[in-house]
């Protein structure tokens, strides 16, 4: 009963709003939740990132299960990504532990990385079709070995970004995979990205847990709101004015990203 009373309704309401937007747009929750916690609620950046990582891992487990049951996961891609992201996340977390994750310098690194990651996410949302068209010819000439190496390299980038900022495994990862594997249906790309995001966010979240940067009451409050929010947003996605909503979302991310980065 005491635990229930300790839940913060404002955090739950924020979780609901972010969950609904994720369901509407498919943009990763970290792009929305982490800056919201830092800028609106004044949560320490390391705590916001660590809590959001576990939040993302737990919420994406159900999505991964659904995609798995629907056979819309390409485990070859997931393994390639994990081969790069898992060691990159571990090294990044060790670096945070060595240099300190809650001092002023680490705070600056986290907020700056978060800002640039949000700017990259916003650009990816707006210019996805242009980016895919520009990369199509060059990537089409690559053999499977080079595609595999590029996928592992993508995993390394995502592992570092996600471990520092909790952002990157959504819009950025999906767009890169669409460019690398243009013949695969989009649903398999999305399913593979979600399946990869589960172990990545849980590994990174566990690392932040070991560093002491998890707020469990905050995490529970977010989950209380986000679980129904994602369900409702997903159900209403077909009615959402995507051509209007996605540019507004991208613009918001760009403004927030610029504020954090500069």
Backbone angles phi, psi at 101, to 5 degrees: -100, -10
CA distance 152 to 81: 5
Q: Are 118 and 39 in contact (CB under 8 A)?
A: no
**Arithmetic mean of pLDDT, 69-98:** 91
Q: Is the pLDDT of residue 31 over 60?
A: yes
Q: Has this prediction a pTM greater than 0.85?
A: no
What does the CA dihedral 109, 38, 114, 217 come to, rounded to 10 degrees?
100
Q: Is the pLDDT of residue 82 over 90?
A: yes
Q: What is the pLDDT of residue 190?
A: 80
Q: What is the pLDDT of residue 84?
A: 96
Q: What is the pLDDT of residue 157?
A: 93
For 235-259, the three-class secondary structure string (H helix, E strand, C coil) is HCHHHCCHHHHHHHHHHHHHHHHHH
Q: What is the pLDDT of residue 26?
A: 58
Residues 140-195 have pLDDT tens digits of 888 889 999 999 999 999 999 889 988 876 778 888 898 999 888 877 888 888 88
- Average pLDDT, whole number, for the chain? 83
Domain ranges for the chain: 2-261
**Arithmetic mean of pLDDT, 92-100:** 87
Residues 201-215 have pLDDT tens digits of 889 989 989 888 889
Q: Are 227 and 113 in contact (CB under 8 A)?
A: no
């Amino acid at each position: 009963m005491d635990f229930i009373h300790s839940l913060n309704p404002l955090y739950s309401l924020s979780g609901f709003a972010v969950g609904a937007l994720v369901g509407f747009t498919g943009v990763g929750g970290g792009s929305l939740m982490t800056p919201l916690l830092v800028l609106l609620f004044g949560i320490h950046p390391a705590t916001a990132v660590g809590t959001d990582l576990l939040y993302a891992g737990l919420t994406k487990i159900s999505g991964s299960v659904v995609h798995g049951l629907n056979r819309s996961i390409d485990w070859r891609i997931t393994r390639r990504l994990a081969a790069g992201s898992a060691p990159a996340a571990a090294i990044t977390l060790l670096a945070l532990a060595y240099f300190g994750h809650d001092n002023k310098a680490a705070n600056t690194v986290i907020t700056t990385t978060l800002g640039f990651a949000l700017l990259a996410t916003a650009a990816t949302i707006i210019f996805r079709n242009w980016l895919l068209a520009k990369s199509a010819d060059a990537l089409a000439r690559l053999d499977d070995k080079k595609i595999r190496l590029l996928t592992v390299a993508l995993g390394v980038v995502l592992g570092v970004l996600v471990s520092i900022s909790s952002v990157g495994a959504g819009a950025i990862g999906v767009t890169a995979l669409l460019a690398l594997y243009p013949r695969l249906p989009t649903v398999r790309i999305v399913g593979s990205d979600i399946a990869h995001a589960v172990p990545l966010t849980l590994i990174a979240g566990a690392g932040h847990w070991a560093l002491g940067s998890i707020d469990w009451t905050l995490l529970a409050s977010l989950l209380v709101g986000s679980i129904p929010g994602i369900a409702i947003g997903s159900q209403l996605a077909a009615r959402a004015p995507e051509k209007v909503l996605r540019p507004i979302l991208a613009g918001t991310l760009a403004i927030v990203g610029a504020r954090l980065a500069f």
